[in-house]
Structure 1
């Protein structure tokens, strides 16, 4: 399940809803990851643009990888502005065994940072500034990507 929201994520509600959705699925592990906007470089927050067709295709591949391990992956991300100390990203893995969930969430979050088509902007002094220094080029993005 992939969900996109405008603005900051309601972490307690999402985690509770996901837990309730899977509470009778006989999973032994539920491992959430919550990404929060932290204060750095004088920013007031972050803003996000998402290219949904590629994000959906990317997520569907991970959903199939999870299914092959008997697990379920869920993810929520923000579009637009998210202020300091609010959440823009939540992912969770449900699996029969904790080791699968622990290893899978790590791989998923790292690949998300490297591959998801989400562009990050700093919100600073009322301006939206592309966060190039803290962005990762998407593999295979051609002239838009980093030098190979």
Structure 2
């Protein structure tokens, strides 16, 4: 279920920002890929967020988890990114989210934003991950060590 949107290397961003990578995939994620996607000689700041599978939630030990996504998740991710790019002075945005079965320590989501200044890069990165979690139809099913499980409405 991969929907990759990438700009050619060396392209000049048009408008308020550019989406360099938007992907929902069932393969391991790469911090280097996301970081590289937002690179720009005009960037004075790049902010990166990496979400990993933790070993506990709600004071319960987590054994593993699985993410599933609606078929429109890639389009919804792009729409979230377009809104961030329209609202904030970014040079580039990138986001990838993993689906399928993940183990403790695996990367679940990686997002990045670059901007001429660090404050805007931090703001765009924070907004991107928060809006992704709130609006993109990706759901988490976690299994606990005590045998229980839980569905979380949005990742």
Q: TM-score higher than 0.5 here?
A: yes
C-alpha contact (below 8 Å) 2:93/2:111 kept by paired residues: yes
C-alpha contact (below 8 Å) 2:47/2:125 kept by paired residues: yes
Q: Compared with structure 1, are the counterparts of its residues 26 and 87 closer, same or farther at alpha carbon in structure 2 (3 Å cutoff)?
A: same
Correspondence 1:87 to 2:107:
yes
Determine which of 57, 65, 84 is the counterpart of 1:65: 84
Correspondence 1:28 to 2:44:
yes
Determine which of 63, 85, 105 is the counterpart of 2:125: 105
- Equivalent-residue separation in structure 2 for 1:57 and 1:7 (angstroms): 19
Partner of 2:153: 135
1:66 CA drift (Å) = 1.6
Determine which of 99, 116, 121 is the counterpart of 2:136: 116
Report the secondary structure of 1:44's partner residue: strand
1:4 CA drift (Å) = 2.4
- Equivalent-residue separation in structure 2 for 1:73 and 1:128 (angstroms): 37
- Equivalent-residue separation in structure 2 for 1:33 and 1:113 (angstroms): 13
C-alpha contact (below 8 Å) 2:64/2:102 kept by paired residues: yes
1:45-75 per-residue CA deviation (whole Å, 9 max, x = no partner) reads 2101111424413423423532562421101
1:4-36 per-residue CA deviation (whole Å, 9 max, x = no partner) reads 221542xxxx33234444444421111110001
Which structure has the highest helix share of the two? 1
Query: Which 5+ residue runs of structure 1 have no aligned equivalent?
Result: 138-148
TM-score normalised by L of structure 1: 0.72
- Equivalent-residue separation in structure 2 for 1:88 and 1:105 (angstroms): 16
1:84-116 per-residue CA deviation (whole Å, 9 max, x = no partner) reads 111110000011111111111112212222111
